[in-house]
């Protein structure tokens, strides 16, 4: 999060995976229209309910918005007619998910296991319905992750009892 030697877009993409369990493919399709900056801070609209971003992630996302706005001269061809947060040299095209996964692996971030860990952790912190509204995860998937979080927590508790 605080490593300035890693490109801002890689840090933001990695944090989307590690904090919010987002698929790289979904992260690639984020645009400036998904970001709302108001007097209360920065929110990201992944689904219906905006997700308030903590510092320093909020500042990193605003840096991507500034970069995207500086390159507004490129041709837009997305549904929202907004600049991509993860653009490429091809006008109107976002970074591809395979390319983003390679970039994240290069900085040592295992996307699939990181995503799984994030979702299991989030399921222990909030109800499935809230996760569905915040992160755009299907109801069936949220229920599966919540069940997995319960099993994981139970296994950890059994292990702790065995050690004592």
Using one digit for the tens of pLDDT, what is the confidence trace for 92-144? 788 999 999 999 999 999 888 898 888 888 878 888 888 888 888 887 887 77
Tell me which H or E stretch contains 44. Answer: strand 41-44
Using one digit for the tens of pLDDT, what is the confidence trace for 14-51? 999 999 999 999 999 999 999 999 999 999 999 888 99
pLDDT surpassing 60 at residue 62: yes
Q: Give pLDDT, residue 153.
A: 55
Does the bond joining 56 to the residue before it have cis omega, within 30 degrees of 0?
Answer: yes
Dig out the tokens for 157 from the structure: 């508790």
pLDDT surpassing 50 at residue 73: no
Contact 44, 34 (CB under 8 A): yes
b/e per residue 129-151 (b: at least 16 CB within 10 A): eebbbbbbbeeeebeebbeebee
Q: Give pLDDT, residue 41.
A: 95
- In the block, residue with structure tokens 């702790």: 160
Q: Give pLDDT, residue 91.
A: 73
- SS3 call for 90: coil
Specify the CATH superfamily of domain 8-163. Intergrase catalytic core (1.10.443.10)
Q: Give pLDDT, residue 75.
A: 47
């Amino acid at each position: 999060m605080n490593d300035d030697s890693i490109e801002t877009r890689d840090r933001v993409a990695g944090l989307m995976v590690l904090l919010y369990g987002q698929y790289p493919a979904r992260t690639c399709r984020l645009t400036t229209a998904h970001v709302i900056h108001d007097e209360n801070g920065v929110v990201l609209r992944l689904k219906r309910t905006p997700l308030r971003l903590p510092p320093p992630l909020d500042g990193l996302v605003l840096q991507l918005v500034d970069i995207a706005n500086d390159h507004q001269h490129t041709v837009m061809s997305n549904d929202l007619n907004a600049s991509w947060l993860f653009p490429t040299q091809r006008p109107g095209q976002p970074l591809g998910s395979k390319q983003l996964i390679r970039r994240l692996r290069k900085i040592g971030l295992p996307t699939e296991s990181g995503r799984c860990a994030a979702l299991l952790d989030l399921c222990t912190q909030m109800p499935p319905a809230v996760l569905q509204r915040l992160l755009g995860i299907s109801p069936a998937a949220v229920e599966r992750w919540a069940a997995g979080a319960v099993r994981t927590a139970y296994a950890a508790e059994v292990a702790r009892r065995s050690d004592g």
